[in-house]
Amino acid sequence: MDKEKVTGVVLRERAKGENDKLLSILTAEHGKMVVLGKGVRSLRNKNMVAAQPFCCATYVLTKSRSGMYYISESELHEAFFDLRADLLSLALASYVCEVADHVSVEDNADVPLLRLVLNTLYAAAGKKRPTAQIKGAFELRCASVLGLSPELSCCADCGDPDAPAYWLDILGGELFCADCMSKRGHEEASVEYSGEWSRPLCPVSPELLAVLRYVISAEPTRFLSFSLPEHMEADFSAVCERYLLHHLGRGFSTLDYYKQFSKL
Ligand SMILES: [Zn+2]
């Protein structure tokens, strides 16, 4: 096929030559695609808007002689212009797209990931939820979409689903109640959470656990539809971040940037 019609969201752009861009687009049809945007850095180019970061559009792609696809036509669905009006929302959107660019692969359609990215960008642009809530829910849900979901139904040792306090083993993705942790003689059980994501255990209160369980089990369009009390925002954001970054084995420069504006 010399032409492809795909729908997706622009995750990343790199300038190429005087007027072109290389774009990383997460598509419903083929997963991540790296395509050329010919002339899209020119304001007069018809595909200029659809070649901006975060934009969601349907693209007609044409294969060049070198085998690379370039955008020949585009129909914009959503530009998320409101993201650009707020530095924190913009930083969050950049982080979401950098994570998606890292975890998505070419020639592998991943509609759940695309849907997660778009729902998260909608929420960040609309600012109807606290930014820390959107960030944390995206992180945990992203781990879930990748098949890395933690097992949150009960204590992995004694099976208690309703203990007064738990610890989440970040690497193992398992919960342990406080009793079982002390029986195991884990020194960590007595250690207070320091806020650093490199530590492998996180304390989880029953109310925080209820939120984590909701985020993982909710319908794709409902994963942000919960209220997060302000006093829980920091813990929720921290545990979700630690979980995702540990399992991906890396940090993200866009997350560091986000943290310049937010402590959560
Ligand atoms: Zn237990």
Taking the centre of ligand 1 as the mean of its atom positions, its distance from the CA of residue 223, in whole angstroms, is 28
Q: Tell me, what's the pLDDT at 197?
A: 41
How many domains does the structure of the chain reveal? 2
Q: So what's the pLDDT on residue 262?
A: 86
* Domain range for 42: 3-79
Do 68 and 17 belong together in one domain?
A: yes
Q: Do residues 26 and 157 share a domain?
A: no
Measured in Å, residue 202 CA sits from the centre of ligand 1 at 15
User: How many angstroms does the Cα of residue 156 sit away from the middle of ligand 1?
Assistant: 7
Which pTM value belongs to this model?
0.92
Q: Domain check: are 50 and 120 in the same one?
A: no
CATH number at residue 264: 1.20.1440.120
Last residue within a domain, chosen from 79, 104, 130: 79
pLDDT at 139: 98
pLDDT of residue 191: 46
Question: Looking at the structure, do residues 122 and 216 belong to the same domain, yes or no?
Answer: yes
Please give the pLDDT value at position 1: 61
Does residue 28 sit in the same domain as residue 136? no
* Bridge partners, 248 (sequence order): none
Contacts of 111 (CB under 8 A, 6+ apart): 28
Contact call for residues 80 and 94 (beta carbons, < 8 A) = no
**Are 134 and 197 in a shared domain?**
yes
pLDDT of residue 157: 93
Same domain? 229 vs 104:
yes
* Final residue before a domain boundary, out of 57, 79, 101: 79
Cα-to-centroid distance, 157 and ligand 1 (Å)? 5
- Cα 193 to middle of ligand 1, angstroms: 20
Same domain as 128, residue 20: no
CA 175 to centroid of ligand 1, rounded, Å: 8
CB-based contact 234:259 (threshold 8 Å): no
Find the CATH number of the domain harbouring 46.
2.40.50.140
SS (H, E, C) the chain: CCEEEEEEEEEEEEEECCCEEEEEEEECCCEEEEEEECCCCCCCCCCCHHHCCCCEEEEEEEECCCCCEEEEEEEEEECCHHHHHCHHHHHHHHHHHHHHHHHCCECCCCHHHHHHHHHHHHHHHHCCCCHHHHHHHHHHHHHHHCCCCCEEEEECCCCCCCCCCEEEECCCCEEEEHHHHHHCCCHHHHCCCCCCCCCCEEEECHHHHHHHHHHHHCCCCCCCCCCCCHHHHHHHHHHHHHHHHHHHCCCCHHHHHHHHHCCC
Q: Give the per-residue pLDDT at 198.
A: 44
Instruction: Please tell me the distance between residue 248's alpha carbon and the centre of ligand 1 in angstroms.
Output: 28
pLDDT attached to residue 190: 45
Across the 264 residues of the chain, what is the mean pLDDT of every consecutive 10-residue run?
A: 92 96 97 97 96 97 94 97 94 98 93 97 93 97 97 96 93 91 63 49 93 97 96 95 94 95 76
